[in-house]
Amino acid sequence: MPIASDLQLKINGQALDSQTVVPLLCGVDVDLGVQQQGMVRLQLAAGQDASGDWARDLVHDFIPGSAITVDVRIGSAANRLFNGVLTQSRLNFAAEVHDSKFEVTGMDVLEKVKRSSNQRRYQGDLSSIVSQVLGRQNITLDSSNTPTDSNLSESQTDSDLEFLTGLARNYNCEVYVESSQSGDTGYFQKLDFATASDVSTDLRVNQGQQTNVRNAQFYIDLSAPTRIEANYVGPNGQSGSQRIYSDLRNTPGLSQIETDLLGPQSFALIARLNRESRDTPERLQVRCDSELERNSWVVIGKGELDTAAYGDLLYPRRSVQVRGSGSLFEGQYMVWKVTHTFQRQTHCQKFELRRKLGMTRNGGS
């Protein structure tokens, strides 16, 4: 059997046939991340049958629109990595016949939300509106960290997912779904360490017998805007009467080395919301802060680990501690992206971690 035995795949609630389908599996990838839909990719060996046709039976086994779940067992606990629907199947031909593959792709349950659309107007509180939209696909909203706003009047003219994504951007939130054996739970909330669940096992990147990470790199990426500006237009229509801004250089707790890395004000990459606006100064400040927030997760770590050595699972939006990477890069991170790859009896996790400036240990000294 080419795929790790702790993995279980089901199509429309039925496990893959252990005699005809499972032996053909060459690899399974599950991609999960912040601000993206979860995706699963299956690769199966594709050969010709007696009539000369390719993968005819596999096409019938993996019909787009079918439900797909991916579960993995760590120790005695079964964990759901993915729940969604198949969206694509294709044949990838290679010069060597034995290298040709049948590839299947699925997207998480937000795909159902994306494919549903309505023309209607909503009124009331934010949680109720989001709950109505997700509820059409049997997704239960966990509203414990959804912003409070009780006097909304919103019109929908596009897909349910586009509507929710646009709404989330107004509140600097993300809309996403997490799945378990008991069902799908939707979230509409900010990315925040204060509300994030913890990964119980630290990532140790130092070399030696104690490490559980194969390889890793850490860096600070300042390629996105570090300052957001907007001009307030007063009641008399006078342009530029007040400049509103939000700047990474004002981040609380910046260490001296982080301040040095940001460079002088003249080095700032500035983005302007718009040249003029009749929003209130308070509203403009919220917009500037919200836009900068999306660009503020600039301390990045990337790496790869073997699950057998790590003994735990990484999920997006979880907080994890990093050890052994030096004072500038040690400490708490948010899991930003993770790809679970199952192949040849192995389970590898490729990860991307992020955090904001101002979180260095001992000032990064």
Question: What one-character DSSP code corresponds to residue 158?
Answer: S
**pLDDT tens-digit profile of 11-29?**
999 999 888 888 889 999 9
**pLDDT tens-digit profile of 39-62?**
999 999 887 776 777 777 788 889
Which residues have C-beta within 8 Å of that of residue 317, sequence separation ≥ 6? 34, 176, 191, 196, 197, 334, 335
- Answer whether residue 31 is part of any domain: yes
- In this structure, are residues 353 and 302 in contact, taking their beta carbons and an 8 Å threshold? yes
Q: Where is the domain boundary, 271, 294, 317?
A: 294
pTM: 0.89
- Answer whether residue 58 is part of any domain: yes
- Answer whether residue 130 is part of any domain: yes
Question: What per-residue confidence (pLDDT) applies to 1?
Answer: 42
Q: Examine the domain organization and report whether 252 and 213 are in the same domain.
A: no
Show the beta-strand stretches assigned E in 209-323. 215-220, 227-232, 242-247, 270-272, 299-306, 319-323
Q: Examine the domain organization and report whether 40 and 166 are in the same domain.
A: no
CA–CA separation, 34 and 337 (whole Å): 6
**Structural domain tally of the chain?**
4
Which residues have C-beta within 8 Å of that of residue 240, sequence separation ≥ 6? 231, 233, 276
- In this structure, are residues 69 and 9 in contact, taking their beta carbons and an 8 Å threshold? yes
163: domain range? 113-189
Question: What per-residue confidence (pLDDT) applies to 4?
Answer: 57
Question: What per-residue confidence (pLDDT) applies to 364?
Answer: 47
CA–CA separation, 74 and 199 (whole Å): 14
Sign of the CA dihedral 124, 130, 132, 133?
Answer: positive
Quote the longest CA-to-CA distance of the chain.
81
Q: Examine the domain organization and report whether 231 and 208 are in the same domain.
A: no
Question: What per-residue confidence (pLDDT) applies to 363?
Answer: 47
Q: Examine the domain organization and report whether 214 and 304 are in the same domain.
A: yes
H or E stretch including 101? Answer: strand 101-108
Q: Examine the domain organization and report whether 288 and 309 are in the same domain.
A: no
Q: Examine the domain organization and report whether 97 and 11 are in the same domain.
A: yes
Q: Which portions of the chain are predicted below pLDDT 50?
A: 1, 363-365
CA–CA separation, 35 and 18 (whole Å): 35
Question: What one-character DSSP code corresponds to residue 159?
Answer: B
**pLDDT tens-digit profile of 296-314?**
999 999 999 999 889 999 9
Q: Shortest CA distance to 116 belongs to which of 134, 141, 91, 103? A: 134
What single letter denotes the amino acid at residue 344? R
